[in-house]
Structure 1
Amino acid sequence: MTQGSRGTTIATVCTLQGGNRLLSAVRFAMLFHCSISAHDPARVAGTIAAIWRGEAHPFPPVEGAWIALAGDDRGTAIEVHPFGIDMLPGTTETAYAHNPAAPEHSTSHQAIATQLTEVEVLAIAAREGWRALHCNRGPFEVIEVWLENRILVEVLTAEMQQQYLAFITPANWRLYLQEHGVPGSGEAVSIRHQD
């Protein structure tokens, strides 16, 4: 491992027997996967996979769950669990329990990239009968797709991804807060791991 010019760790890639590759470290923060719930996990996972031009498959760790795989070089995935199943700390690994009072809506959402055009994304949502619309967030734009008309996923086309990546940096975020007069905008909390 070596240190980059800004102190970031540069990944070392090893080729294992059988041709599998292993990253010994990553040089940047990355969200590999997340999970959401749905009334129809197979349909939701299939729709996400269509937006990614990826694949959807059953997810055996959770009965009735599916997983959408982007098929990219980062292993990007979204697990889609049956609605009303909560993840809990288990005695060893994660435990699952039925929650009859599970809320229909949540503050959780994901922003995902796509190779599709805006027209193609809107057509997929229309095919499913789900709300979808172009939204301007100020510094960047997104397509809001409401899976099952209850779960927000912000879909970014290639152009939208460029806008997003150009804006979402700590320096730009501080400037944005200052420009909008947000109290405490000069204060940032940062915890860095020291090797």
Structure 2
Amino acid sequence: MVKIIGLTGGIGSGKTTVINYIKSKGFPVYIADEAGKEVMEYPEIITKINLLFNNEVLLPDGFLDRTKIASIVFQNKELLGQLNQIVHPAVALHFENFKKENATADVIFKESAILFESEAYKKCYATILITAPLEVRVNRVIQRDNITKEEVLSRIKNQLTDEEKAKLATYIVENIDLNETFKNVDQIVNKILIN
């Protein structure tokens, strides 16, 4: 039976770097955010989402204007909930197919920014939370996205805190020194493979 390892971390924690390291080790990695973007290009999903937003979110090419959708749901929690009710089941199905494709693997990593918020962690064998001090996270995002400190803090405020996530996580990796981070990840993966 393949073990699902959930991996998450707040914005700027460096979870993408960790995911790329895990991929380089040959483990199958499912990235929920990428899957979400993919399913939002399915014709039937486009139709449902466009209806939800009163036919006002289609681009001339027939695809969804994700930037416009994001700006709307950022200020409307109810609409966000309805959007998630369309996208999440499609992503869940997508993940089931990914699991079938990787049925011979010992472990599959499932990366999700909202692993705990969406309660997807409950279906995981174990979870790894990538953390970093707030100041480090803020500086990383400012450099990466070229945005202001206020914008970064506003995004962080919309996520569960590391403290809240830590209560639900099986393992916590503080990502400051990359060599140390990779060493910790290796130890965790080896522990999971042995058990």
TM-score normalized by the length of structure 1: 0.24
Write 1 or 2 for the structure with the bigger share of helix.
2
Structure whose alpha-carbon radius of gyration is higher:
1
Q: Considering fraction of residues, name the structure with more strand.
A: 1
Greater relative contact order (Cα < 8 A, sep 6+): 2
